[in-house]
Amino acid sequence: MRLYETLAGDIEGQIRKGVYQPGERLPSVRQTSQQRQISITTVIRAYLLLESRGLIVSRPQSGYFVSPHEGGGAQLASPASPKPIAISASVDVSRLVLSTLRSISANDAVPLGSPYPDPAAFPFEKLNRYAYAAARDDSLRGMKNALPPGHPKLIRQIAKRYSEKGVSVDPAEIIVTVGATEAINLCLQAVAKPGDVVAVESPTFYAMLHAIERMGMKAIEIPTDPARGIDVQALAAIAKEQRIAACMVMPNFQNPLGFEMPNDAKRALVALATELEMPIIENGVYNELYYGESYPTTLKQFDTAGLVLHCSSFSKTLASAYRIGWALPGRYRDQVEKLKFLNTLTTASIPQIAIAEFLERDGYEHHLRRLRKTYAQQANLMKAIVTRFFPEGTRPSNPAGGYVLWVELPRTVDGMKLYEQALERGITIGPGYMFSASGSYPNFIRLNYSTPWSPEIEQAVITVGKLAGTCARQRVPTPGAR
């Protein structure tokens, strides 16, 4: 099949599934060319083919639109689902995380240790207007559109968003959740049980460790390269020695390392998962916060066996307070939907509608472009200050997206002492202890640079750098030495 025929087939599929409705405008030829990384001629040929099939119509000076009489209007299906999987409860690193968040909210501490983006950049007023209008709609006062899989309008907008980024998604697979954290927990619960071993990156985002601990599972840490991501060969070697029930990864702008996993590494990881019949839970919450020219590929795109359970949310890009996320669970879709119903029953419909209305009407892409530019600039500022004012031998990461910087301090520095001393001065940081189940990063910290750069932020980073020179770890004697 030729490239333009493949593109036409993808778009036709989205129209048939109701992602694009009758009369709705398709992405422009130039936009599709840039997002799919194909020539404008290829896009034009695809659109002409769809037009010849009666699926779309061309309007001079306006673009291409779905035919008002053909194709669209499909209803999003909601299949039935099977038995739930048992839960187990446990805790640990969560206490340190909770303490940090309380310090930020209660003591107005400088939020260098926050896992959340600064909310000042989010369009709350517009979203709240849509939420207010939705709350006045009598038809929304029942539970109908809050039950799994979620509100059809939001599901359609999510599927459309992926389609515009060159990722073909079946809207019937999407399940709306209370943030990405719930999506990750439900997906893990669907593919593994208490006592199972789950592979994670090292270092890894602590929400992954929380999910594993809470369900009575065991985390096994896989070496992770700061540029290429999880070591696929190391994972394969470990999988030969013991069964791994699932693998949890963040391939794009990983928290805390910030890398974008290359396509060949993504393909290799999915190929290994297919060979082992090993589910992969893909955390994609930072995918929209790329600093490069185009949206990153996902593991989901390389998956032909339904083993990738892709999770994401709007919390990092649009509305952290609304707590709206989603899952694309592949072959485990039915289990995840039932677990969603059993765990939290619903996801509030009013925030779903507010976000759907914003996506449809208010320039989400423009908002994201501004956010990406700001974060990229602030990443450079943070790195420059760290390089200048932290102890000699400090090495900051080189994030390709997101809003966090991973900082390796000299081996003599105790990250927990630094955390405590910074907190005494009204500054929070993320100690490396939080990013490993085995305490592997005692001389590392994570810094959040999403807050608009100011003299206060700059001075706080300088203060942390100066404190780092005084937080020496207790020396561990070399075996056999006197």
Q: Sort residue 71 into left (φ over 0), alpha (ψ -120 to 50) or beta.
A: left
Q: With 60 as the cut, is the pLDDT of residue 132 above it?
A: yes
The answer to whether residue 471 scores a pLDDT higher than 90 is no
| φ/ψ (deg, to 5) at 181 | -60, -45
d(CA 213, CA 391): 35
What is the residue range of 42's domain? Answer: 3-66
Token pair 């072959």 is found at 331
Name the DSSP class of 401: B
CA pair distance 430, 211, nearest whole angstrom: 19
Residue 395: both structure tokens together: 């090495």
296 and 445 fall within a common domain: no
pLDDT band at residue 257 using 50, 70 and 90 as cut-offs: very high
Our count of domains for the chain comes to 3
Tokens of 214: 């809470």
Mean pLDDT of 95-106: 69
What pLDDT sits at residue 476?
42
Residue 311 and residue 257 in one domain: yes
Cα within 13 Å of Cα(317), Cβ side: 28
Cα distance between residue 222 and residue 247, in whole Å: 10
User: How far is Cα 249 from Cα 268, in angstroms, rounded to an integer?
Assistant: 14
Domain membership of residue 383 (yes or no) is: yes
Same domain, 203 and 334: yes
pLDDT the model gives residue 140: 62
For residue 88, being part of any structural domain is answered with: no
From residue 294, alpha-carbon distances to 33, 35, 260, 287, 290 in Å are: 11, 6, 12, 10, 7
Helix axes 3-16, 40-52, angle to 10 degrees: 50
Sheet harboring 430-431: ordered strands across?
395-396, 404-408, 444-448, 430-431
What average pLDDT does this structure show over 187-197? Answer: 96
**Based on the domain organization, do 401 and 346 belong to the same domain?**
no
Residues 6+ apart with CB under 8 A from 396: 382, 383, 386, 387, 405, 406, 407, 408
In a domain, 80, yes or no: no
User: Residues 130, 357: contact at Cβ < 8 Å?
Assistant: yes
Q: How confident is the model at residue 439 (pLDDT cuts 50, 70, 90)?
A: confident
pLDDT, position 190: 97
Q: Mark which of 31, 47, 66 sits at the end of a domain.
A: 66
Spatial separation of the C-alpha atoms in residues 145 and 350, rounded to whole Å: 9
In contact, 335 and 188? CB cutoff 8 Å: no
Q: How confident is the model at residue 478 (pLDDT cuts 50, 70, 90)?
A: very low
- Residue 266 pLDDT > 90, yes or no? yes
Longest Cα pair distance anywhere in the chain, in angstroms?
86
Arithmetic mean of pLDDT, 292-320: 95
Lowest mean pLDDT among 71-75, 96-100, 203-207, 340-344: 71-75
What is the CATH classification number for the domain harbouring 460? 3.90.1150.10
- Report percent pLDDT > 70 for the chain: 89
Give yes or no: residues 383 and 242 share one domain: no
The Cα–Cα gap between 212 and 435 comes to 13
Secondary structure element (H or E) that encloses residue 248, with its range = strand 246-249
- Residue whose pair of structure tokens reads 């070496």 in the numeric block: 223
Helix or strand or coil: residue 237?
A: helix
Q: Are 328 and 174 in contact (CB under 8 A)?
A: yes
Neighbours of 190 (CB within 10 A): 26
How far is the C-alpha of 100 from the C-alpha of 83, rounded, in Å? 38
pLDDT at 89: 31
Q: Say yes or no to pLDDT of 445 above 70.
A: yes
Question: Strand 197-202 vs strand 218-225: parallel, antiparallel, or unpaired?
Answer: parallel
DSSP string covering 111-146: -TT-SSPPGGGS-HHHHHHHHHHHHT-GGGSSSTTT
Residues 306 and 347 in one domain: yes
Residue 76 lies in a domain: no
> For residue 232, what are its two tokens?
């696929």
DSSP 381-400: HHHHHHHHHSPTT-EE---S
For residues 164 and 298, membership in a common domain is answered with: yes
340-355 burial, b at 16+ Cβ within 10 Å, e below that, comes to: bbeeeebbbbbbbbbb
pLDDT digits (tens, 9 = 90+) for 340-371: 999 888 899 999 999 999 999 988 999 999 99
| pLDDT, mean over the chain | 88
Q: What whole-number distance in Å separates Cα of residue 291 and Cα of residue 289?
A: 7
Q: How confident is the model at residue 222 (pLDDT cuts 50, 70, 90)?
A: very high
Confidence check: pLDDT of 81 > 70: no
Write down which residue in 340, 362, 384 finishes a domain.
Answer: 362
Residue 258 shares a structural domain with residue 296: yes
**160 shares a domain with 61:** no
Q: Tell whether 276 and 317 lie within a shared domain.
A: yes
In a domain, 107, yes or no: no
Calculate mean pLDDT across residues 182-199: 96
Of these ranges, 74-78, 90-94, 334-338, the one predicted with the greatest mean pLDDT is 334-338
Domain-embedded: residue 86: no
- The number of residues in the chain equals 482
Helix (H, G, I), strand (E, B) or coil at 202: strand
Average pLDDT over residues 425-435: 92
Q: For position 30, which CATH number holds?
A: 1.10.10.10
Question: Is residue 12 pLDDT above 80, yes or no?
Answer: yes
The pLDDT of residue 146: 79
First to last CA, the chain: 72
Is residue 481 a part of any domain in this protein?
no
More confident residue, 70 or 327: 327
Query: For position 257, which CATH number holds?
Result: 3.40.640.10
Q: Which of 312, 328, 362 is the last residue of a domain?
A: 362
**Arithmetic mean of pLDDT, 130-152:** 80
In a domain, 251, yes or no: yes
> Does 105 have pLDDT greater than 70?
no
Pair 388, 345 in one domain: no
Residues 301 and 426 in one domain: no
pLDDT tens, residue by residue, 452-468: 999 999 999 999 999 99
